[in-house]
Structure 1
Amino acid sequence: MSYSEDIVISKLSGINETQEAVVNISQWLMFHRRHAKRSVKTWAQVLADVPAYRKLALIYLANEVLQQAKMRGREEFLLAFPSIIVDALDNAYRQCTTEVQVKIKRVVEVWRTRDILPPTVLADIDSRLDDADKKKPRQANTATGSSNSTGAGTRRLGFGLGLPPELSKLATANTAITTRATAYTAALKSATSSYDATFDADALPAPPEYAAQIGKLLEELTTATTAANELASARREYINQLEALVKVHTAALEASQTEMAELEKKHDYAQRMLTDVQEMLGGKKSDGDEDNTAIDFDPGSASGASAMETFVSDPVYMPMEDTPESTPSPPQPPPPRLSGAVSDTAAEAPTAPTSSSGFEGLDPAVAQFLSSIGREHAASAT
């Protein structure tokens, strides 16, 4: 299996945190341990470039390589890592979340416990990580999504960790496409360059060398093909996530439209009921006004009975036969005659009752009877 920097970049860029992936790449690097310095340098470069969620996998890879080298007595990687691992871990640590930082410190503690790296290197790593802890802003809590002011600003810019599950899956799929696209581009470039160098050369090398060159080309073409398949798989996964997201929101939209139609029906019914009640209240007020100007004498109703009782008990409306007899006033003496002022005809004329005769309020027949008695009495006295 041939070795090139592009192949290393391709393998490291596509790594994940599974044990199988870490062990496979570790074995490949151990096989090419004579290129340890180049591999470690490339590892540091990829560690700085990949997204934060892939940095832990690369640190796990370095741990696996170092432990395998320590166990097998292969010093190539044990000598290559100390010169670059302090800066590499410091840079990665500052870009990771608190949860990932805790895992990085556990790896460093394993190195200390198993005496993987020199104590001076471990002391430098501890110093760098402690300094990063002191200077870094408080980060968002991955469990609750809470944070300080800087975390809130991060969420407003769209880099927070509080995405809905469906968007988180979509973001992960998109990141996978970006990573695999980078690996595929590097593998394609390497394979294309080797192909041109193999078949477009002006002079062919010796058959054994030519066969080895073609074998190397086949490996690079295989690597490029694998990277292309992984990229295609990542794109299919992204499309699946998009389709799932569309289905979720389509179903939610249909449910919302059904609820909206039901709400409109309830609104229309409530509006009709309000109109009916208002019309009822308006009609009742009009009927009340009419009741105030008329008396209901319907004996079958409570209001009619009450009105009848008021009518009968009122003295003004009592029948005449129920009125007690009035005692007639004694006859009034005739008025004195004025000598020479009134003629005999005028003196003999009957005196008509006036408004001051004292008969006010009596029945007209009674008043007339009493008035006639008064005239007779006056006539007999003269």
Structure 2
Amino acid sequence: MAYTDDAVQAKLSALNETQEGIVTVAQWIMFHRRHADRTAQLWMQRLKDSAPNKRLSLIYLANEVVQQSKARKKTEFVAAFSPIIAESTSAAYKGAPYDIQQKLRRVIEVWRQRVIFEPPVQDHIERNLDELDKTRAPGKKATLGGSLFSSGSSVPQELQPLVPLQTALTKADNASKSNVTHAYNEYDKLIDPANPVPTPPVHAARLSQVLKNLASAESAVAESIKSRRELITAMEKMLEGHKATLSKDEAAHQELDTRRTGIETKKREVEDAIMRGLSTEQPQVPTGPAANDPRRRLPTAVASTDNANGGLLDEPQRPDVEGLTPPPVESITPVGTPPPALAAPTTTGATAGFVPELPPSHDEPASGPAALEALAAANILPQKTQRDDSGDDDGQGQANGYEGGYYPGAAKKRRVGSGVAEQDFADFATGDAYDGIDADVADMLRRD
């Protein structure tokens, strides 16, 4: 094929990433080494108009051309690329993904190792790349994980099936864009009326080239469509799964909301019941002392005060009471009376009716008349009658002598009819013996 700008553009547009395609185009370019400067300019223009992955292929092409020329000691292409290689590598490096930038770095390192370009040119290339790295925004700093749709570990596990599909789509889309742009440009040039019609052989060759470019662009677009459909299908499957999960989550959310509302209602009812119970509860009535509490024996005034205060009062201190002193023995027994026997008295028939006389107590209150009369009627009258029957005429009952000690069981008897006893019972000697006694008691005594 004759060397023309269109031919060079066609070769560069049809360039693929395979090693065979790069070597084939490089050999064609080196064959036309007389047009090295023009080829370098067209190459640079094509690189600026291409996508990042296509730019990497063009860098590989330039690397193959300059290294082969250096090995064959042909300096035309090294001299042609030296003025533009720094700007071209910067354009390919800027905005490229991290993996492409690393590949470009390796190519430039090979140039330094093999001294493909002069040291000033090599330094200029590396300096431009370093400046681009420094001016990169912190948020866009390249990482080992790569982009979202790369194979890095930063991709969530759920999105891993989409990674290869997105990668294939990106490659196909970039290839289709460049091929479509080139095919449109060639087609416009061919049908432009302003361009002179070339000779039939040249015109036929151009038609064939445009036809090839259109077919290549069509194939690239078809590949892009296929990749995009596969990605859409995978995303739709994932979307359906997320929709099903969303429906379950919504149902669970509604159920939880219903249960929460029910529990809140029940909680309010319980709290209202508690508040109603507290408001209607009667105040606790204070209880008095227990049945065995000694304070129940307190006076009425103290007990009422105790109940009024709603609690138990402290037990009052006991009052100081003077101890009881028994009366002297002389007031009961005359001086010279023998001491009483220690043996227990024995009641006999003669003395069964006698009541032992107790020592008088000066502290005891005087008995009422009714009590004295009842006592006299019940106890003393039978004694008097018994004594009268036994022949004690003088009214002074004597115990069996005091010689040798007291008679067992003997005690001082109340002497009826002598001394004070005669005065006490003087009323019984005359008249009715039951005078002064209640009528009911007198009737009972008469029946006996």
Into which bin does the TM-score normalised by the smaller protein fall? 0.5 to 0.7
Instruction: Measure, in 1, the Cα distance between the counterparts of 2:146 and 2:109.
Output: 28
2:400 alignment partner in structure 1: none
* Aligned residue in 2 for 1:55: 55
- For 2:274 and 2:89, the matched residues in 1 are separated by 86
Larger RCO, structures 1/2 (Cα 8 Å, 6+ apart): 1
SS in 2 for 1:116: coil
In structure 2, distance between residues paired with 1:43 and 1:249: 44
- Per-residue CA distance 1:331-368 (angstroms, 9 max, x = gap): 99xxxxxxxxxxxxxxxxxxxxxxxxxxxxxxxxxxxx
For residues 117 and 66 of structure 2, what CA distance do their matches in structure 1 show?
Answer: 8
Is the 8 Å Cα contact of residues 90 and 128 (structure 1) preserved in structure 2? yes
Instruction: Indicate the percent of aligned positions where both proteins have the same amino acid.
Output: 29
| Cα distance in structure 2, aligned partners of 1:55 and 1:279 | 75
In the alignment of these two chains, the number of paired residues is 290
Q: State the distance in 2 between where 1:69 and 1:246 align.
A: 52
Matched, 1:231 2:221: yes
CA distance in 2 between partners of 1:291 and 1:137 (Å): 74
Q: Report how far residue 169 of structure 1 moved.
A: 6.3
Distance in 2 (alpha carbons) for counterparts of 1:330 and 1:249 = 118
Which one has a larger percent helix, Structure 1 or Structure 2? 1
Equivalent residues in 2 for 1:319-334, closer than 5 Å: none
The equivalent residue for 2:66 is 66
CA contact (8 A) 2:182 2:213 kept: no
1:185 paired to 2:181 = yes
Q: Deviations over 1:97-138 (max 9, x none)?
A: 665444333322212322333344324434444555566655
- Residue in structure 2 matched with residue 257 of structure 1 by the alignment: 247
Q: Secondary structure at the match of 1:141?
A: coil
User: Residue 143 of structure 2: SS of its match in structure 1?
Assistant: coil
**Which ranges of structure 1 fall in alignment gaps of 5 or more residues?**
147-154, 156-161, 296-306, 318-328, 333-375, 377-382
Matched, 1:121 2:111: no
RMSD after superposition: 4.7
- Following the alignment from structure 2 to structure 1, what is the Cα–Cα distance between the partners of residues 11 and 251? 55
Which AA in structure 1 matches 2:182? Answer: A
1:279 aligns with 2:269: yes
User: What is the letter of the counterpart of residue 121 of structure 2?
Assistant: V
| Distance in 2 separating the partners of 1:181 and 1:99 | 21
Tell me the secondary structure at the aligned position of residue 116 of structure 2: coil
Output the CA distance in 2 between the equivalents of 1:310 and 1:286: 32
Name the structure 2 match of 1:346: none
1:89 aligned partner: 89
Mark the CA change 1:292 to 1:110 in structure 2 (over 3 Å): closer, same or farther: same
Q: Offset of 1:62 from its aligned partner?
A: 1.2
- CA distance in 1 between counterparts of 2:8 and 2:256 reads 67
Say yes or no: does 1:19 pair with 2:19. yes
Between the aligned partners of 2:95 and 2:70, the Cα distance in structure 1 is 29
- Aligned CA distance change for structure 1 residues 261 and 313 (closer, same or farther; 3 Å): farther
Alignment partner, residue 37 of structure 2 = 37
Q: What SS does the aligned partner of 2:142 have?
A: coil
Structure 2 unaligned segments of length 5 or more: list them.
Answer: 149-153, 297-364, 369-437, 439-448
Distance 1:279 1:75 in 2: 97
Residues 310 and 249 (structure 1), Cα distance of their counterparts in 2 relative to 1, 3 Å cut: farther
Return the alpha-carbon distance in structure 1 between the equivalents of residues 189 and 62 of structure 2: 29
Distance 1:12 1:173, change over 3 A: farther
Go from structure 1 to structure 2 and tell me whether the alpha carbon gap of 1:257 and 1:229 turns closer, same or farther (over 3 Å shift): same
Instruction: Determine the C-alpha separation between the residues in 1 that align with 2:107 and 2:80.
Output: 18
Residue type of the alignment partner of 1:50: S
Matched-pair contact (CA < 8 Å) for 1:50–1:179? no
Q: Which amino acid aligns with 1:260?
A: E
Q: Contact conserved, 1:93 with 1:129, CA < 8 A, in 2?
A: yes
In 2 relative to 1, CA 261–212 (structure 1 residues): closer, same or farther, beyond 3 Å? same
Alignment of 1:61-210 (within 5 A): 61-96=61-96, 100-130=100-130, 132=132, 140-143=141-144, 173=169, 176-177=172-173, 180-191=176-187, 193-194=189-190, 210=200
TM-score by length of 1: 0.58
Please state how far the C-alpha of 1:43 moved relative to its aligned partner.
1.4
When normalised by structure 2's length, the TM-score is 0.50
User: 2:234 aligns to what?
Assistant: 244
Q: Distance in 2 between matches of 1:265 and 1:228?
A: 55
Task: Using the TM superposition, give the Cα deviation of residue 230 of structure 1 relative to its aligned residue in structure 2, in angstroms.
Answer: 0.7
SS at structure 2 position matched to 1:117: coil
- The answer to whether the 8 Å contact 2:13/2:182 transfers is no
Residue 219 of structure 1 corresponds to which residue in structure 2?
A: 209
Asked whether the 8 Å contact 2:180–2:217 carries over to 1, the reply is yes
CA distance in 2, matches of 1:273, 1:131: 65
The 1-side partners of 2:271 and 2:243 are apart by 42
| Structure 1 segment 303-322 matched on structure 2, within 5 A | none
- CA distance in structure 1 between the aligned counterparts of 2:41 and 2:215, rounded to whole angstroms: 25
